[in-house]
Structure 1
């Protein structure tokens, strides 16, 4: 099986060996015409979309607390069509979340801007893996996490205390790899800093911060994968 890992359960992850294959993803190669046609429809609705480079998985497995997989660089337009045809596509998506934990144990998430594909959705600052997130062909998940948080919120988590390991939650819609990043300031101060950054940006990617103070504090627009992550955090497990 190309994708062999438990679904809908939070998994402890001690090592991540996801490699970037230099060849094209079969989904991109086999759907070139449909990708181009769908992209024209997408940008007609959201002209701000950019056809950059992200990666799609062709393999992912979970063995002995390790994630092992292979992925390929694709245009964002390929990813957009895949979102509509993911079932039996031979492709899956993985992404990373830096779970931002404030000094008062609240979580600080973000709400995506109205011009983005996920407009209004609430989740931790994140983005798809890009070729720059790979070192010697292997994905550097923490580099991706820190980069995305900095780009979207202005916060630098490079010196933040990290959870002892990663965790992952895999569903048929994708696999999120996440890790706690602890910041000493209380949630209100972190949110203030993020709001100030957003106000200073000409074209911010997010609308602003969202504070989550307990397991039942679920904001409107919460992404489907977030509820189990929030419950996991406030359960106190490590």
Structure 2
């Protein structure tokens, strides 16, 4: 595991974008699972504005989780990514593999699971992303696996239907076997509201085992955290 701590969330976006650009430059074809949230939004803006040298022709984009809403809904992770990144770059349309949030959730979880099996290379008999980008909620959830459904992490399926604990909204999420089989996994975590869970997970104290984010441990051992000082202020470095 590698920790990168920067002064601001904007610097996190710049540093991650540099890492991301370098990763794309090393391999012709890449399969990448994206995250939603406020920090990826800043990252997408940075990539679209200041990393024009990136060749997107061999990059395939997927989503680690998606709300069960239409692609035109303001809560759609896909819509956010289109607005802040996809609409501003030259990437083949056939390289965009969205979760169909408008579909019946259980059927869509199966369809997307099958899509990952069909399109991704395999290792350990599981689909293998080159990169999975994750966020973390202030409750310690990651992707759309929440503490009250932490059992979904160990599902035998590539994808599951999750339920938000407060709103009851259904979401499609990839599971732990896919996340931990990735070649590289990155956490993008910013904001003071994340500091308590970040501290418990990285220091391995408190109730850290209750948080799905604590279960991220790729077999490749390539786990990178990009944090701002607000989120990292209480960890033992």
TM-score by length of 1: 0.28
TM-score by length of 2: 0.28
Q: Where is the helix percentage greater, Structure 1 or Structure 2?
A: 2
Q: Where is the strand percentage greater, Structure 1 or Structure 2?
A: 1
Mark the structure with the bigger radius of gyration. Answer: 1
